[in-house]
Amino acid sequence: MNLTDEQLERYSRHIILEQVGATGQEKLLSGKVLIIGAGGLGAPAGLYLAAAGVGTIGVIDSDSVELSNLQRQVIHHTPDVGTPKVESAAAKMRAINPDVTVRTYFDRAGPDNLVALMSEYDFVIDGTDNFSSKYLINDAAWFARKPFSHAGILRFSGQLITVRPGQSACYRCLFPDPPEPGAVPSCSQAGVLGVLGGVIGTLQATEAIKYLLGEGELLTDALLTYDASGMEFRKVPVRRNPRCRLCGPSPTITVLEQQDQAVCDLSGSCNC
């Protein structure tokens, strides 16, 4: 790939970086990232990945934009209310950077489509809002052997970890089983500070970019936690769990299934 004059100018702040350069920018332009969920986490991740010139960005989401999303889902604007989120997100990413090919999937990520979909990409960003999806993505990534960034946000807190299936601790290594449905407050009750998605979602984008570049150390085998109240980041070292039902030596999860616990919100339409 040869960068055009326009690309040399557009990506000049990347190209002058020792860790990126023209070669790194070409890697980004040929990179493919799948964003699952165009919400609080996926919105900032999508904007920055598009700006960075990640060549192919897939977005899967089955929701349409609602007014209550706009407090944090910065890729969607007021006139987008009622539009499928994937369309709204794709329009902004294309407007930022015509170099980017955006593929949209107005669909739910499920056990029937996720492994095949992940296989078409280099790296996956989990921007979903419920435990059922987060476990499903972790498991699908294992079966697809696809690296991904897991993240969660709630109230004034957030956390993330990068998983390289078979090489580093997975989400189930840390959280062996989903919480009991009754133990979980509904997300719309709990709320979330809007900027949390920006903080954590851009960190997820950073991991995707580092992975495509092959630069730096990924956030594997460590859970990064962020507390906005005390303005504190902590990196908690973790390791693969020999009792992990998915990636341990004696797995009991051998096929991809969705544990259909609508734990986030019993109506299944969480808006956190």
Q: Please, what is the minimum distance in Å from the beta carbon of residue 25 to Zn ion?
A: 34
The 222-227 sheet, strands edge to edge: 101-105, 56-60, 32-36, 123-126, 148-154, 157-163, 222-227, 232-237
Q: How far is CA 106 from CA 109, 165, 272, in A?
A: 10, 27, 20
Residues 178-207 that bind another protein (CB under 8 A): 179-180, 183-184, 187, 190, 192, 197
Name which of 29 and 74 has its Cβ closer to another protein.
Answer: 74
- According to DSSP, the residues that pair with 102 across neighbouring strands are 57
Select the residue interacting with another protein from 46, 58, 147, 152 (CB under 8 A). 152
Query: Whole-angstrom Cα distance, residue 152 to residue 159?
Result: 5
| DSSP element (H, E) containing 222 | strand 222-227
Residue 153 touches another protein, criterion: CB under 8 A:
yes
- Per CB under 5 A, the segment of 5-13, 40-48, 121-129, 247-255 that binds Zn ion is 247-255
How many other CB atoms sit within 10 Å of the CB of residue 237? 8
Among 121, 123, 131, 142, binds another protein (CB under 8 A): 131
Site string for Zn ion, 170-209 (x = CB under 5 A): x-xx------------------------------------
Lookup: tokens for 103: 């593929």
User: Closer to Zn ion at the Cβ: 6 or 145?
Assistant: 145
Strands 222-227 and 232-237: antiparallel
Q: Please list the active-site residues.
A: 187
Binding of residue 236 to another protein (CB under 8 A): yes
Closest approach, Cβ 110 to another protein, in A, equals 17
Q: How far is CA 147 from CA 88, 141, 204, 232, 256, in A?
A: 26, 7, 12, 27, 17
Question: Which positions touch another protein (CB under 8 A)?
Answer: 37, 39-42, 63, 69, 73, 126-131, 134, 151-154, 157-159, 173-177, 179-180, 183-184, 187, 190, 192, 197, 223, 225, 234, 236-239, 241, 243, 263-264, 270-272
